[in-house]
Amino acid sequence: MNVGDLWFTDDCEAGDTNWTRSGSPDLWHITSYRAHSGAHSWYFGVDSTHVYPRNADAAITSVSLTAGEENELRFWYWYDLTTYGSDGVYVILHAGGAADTVEFIGSGGALNYPPEEPLNIYSGWVEWSMDIAGLAPGDAFQVEFAFSSDGDDEAEGVYIDDITVRSRTPEKTGVGDVAGRTPGDVVALLPNPVRDEVRILMAPHAAALVLGIYDIEGRLVKELAAPAGARSVSWNLEDGGGRRVAPGIYLARINGDAYSSTGKIVVLR
């Protein structure tokens, strides 16, 4: 990845806390029966029989994500679905109070790869990706996977793994150059590179903010609270468990109600 990119990535190996379940029956769960990465993936169905029920309508929806300048959704899926009918997963994007169905992976839908395979015997993992249009930097959005089945026939269903949203953010440079910036922007990192402690300077902001330190893979390393009006937050290069982080590049990201900003921190030995 390029420095300055932000990633939301969920390999389903650390539980379901990035997602909220809704609908019925409530059968979305992390399974260890199949996985694209590691040992776990999302699955809608009954684990003991590996079959989804008829007349299902249930979804998982992600935590709120913050758009950058360019945003791309990727995930891997595995499917076994009935040839006829309307069973499958809708991919839905939520932003600005609107819901936009961008894909249907199911009977009569997007199951055309490889085209020579009958629909209900294909059993490989397939990668899906799409540029997300219509988002401005700072927009909040959510990703939903909604499983739906009709009243006829059933099969094993759909597994989803390695869900990633890549968001490229504008470069932030300059010290004290506050004019034109969104409140809460990372204005400067002092010192940078850093050996002991870095002060993250930001433009004045009216509300309390949470500043996340992420490693280059997009994993959250530490959360720092910035009270309303604070102009800087310090990070002592420790992770959430109080351990000194490894040398390398880290991203300081501020999440507010409607904006986000990122600064690159270089941690030395």
Between 12 and 254, CB nearer to Ca ion:
12
Q: How far is the CB of 215 from Ca ion (least distance, A)?
A: 19
Distance CA(16)–CA(91), nearest Å, equals 18
Between 166 and 222, CB nearer to Ca ion:
166
- Binding positions for Ca ion, 226-255, rule CB under 5 A: none
Please check whether residue 128 is in contact with residue 22, taking contact to mean a CB–CB distance below 8 angstroms: no
Largest CA distance in the chain: 64
x-marked contacts with Ca ion along 184-223 as a string, rule CB under 5 A: ----------------------------------------
Instruction: Sheet containing 198-202: give its strands across.
Output: 186-190, 198-202, 232-235
Distance CA(105)–CA(158), nearest Å, equals 9
Q: How many CB atoms lie within 10 A of CB 114?
A: 8
Q: How far is the CB of 143 from Ca ion (least distance, A)?
A: 16
Distance CA(111)–CA(89), nearest Å, equals 11
Between 43 and 141, CB nearer to Ca ion:
43
- Binding positions for Ca ion, 30-49, rule CB under 5 A: 35, 37-38, 40
Between 37 and 123, CB nearer to Ca ion:
37
- Binding positions for Ca ion, 151-170, rule CB under 5 A: 161
Structure tokens at 240: 């959430």
Question: How many residues line the site for Ca ion (CB under 5 A)?
Answer: 7
Task: Give φ, ψ of 121 to 5 degrees.
Answer: -120, -5
Distance CA(246)–CA(269), nearest Å, equals 8
Distance CA(256)–CA(86), nearest Å, equals 40
- Binding positions for Ca ion, 69-128, rule CB under 5 A: none
Q: How far is the CB of 123 from Ca ion (least distance, A)?
A: 17
Q: How far is the CB of 145 from Ca ion (least distance, A)?
A: 15
Q: How far is the CB of 128 from Ca ion (least distance, A)?
A: 15
Between 77 and 235, CB nearer to Ca ion:
77
Q: How far is the CB of 76 from Ca ion (least distance, A)?
A: 9
Please check whether residue 77 is in contact with residue 105, taking contact to mean a CB–CB distance below 8 angstroms: yes
- Binding positions for Ca ion, 8-27, rule CB under 5 A: 11-12
Q: How far is the CB of 7 from Ca ion (least distance, A)?
A: 16
Structure tokens at 86: 């309307």
Between 12 and 27, CB nearer to Ca ion:
12
Task: Give φ, ψ of 82 to 5 degrees.
Answer: -65, 145
Whose CA is closest to 212, among 268, 253, 269? 253
Between 12 and 252, CB nearer to Ca ion:
12
Which of the ranges 6-14, 15-23, 65-73, 132-140 carries the binding residues for Ca ion, by CB under 5 A? 6-14
Chain residues that interact with Ca ion, rule: CB under 5 A: 11-12, 35, 37-38, 40, 161
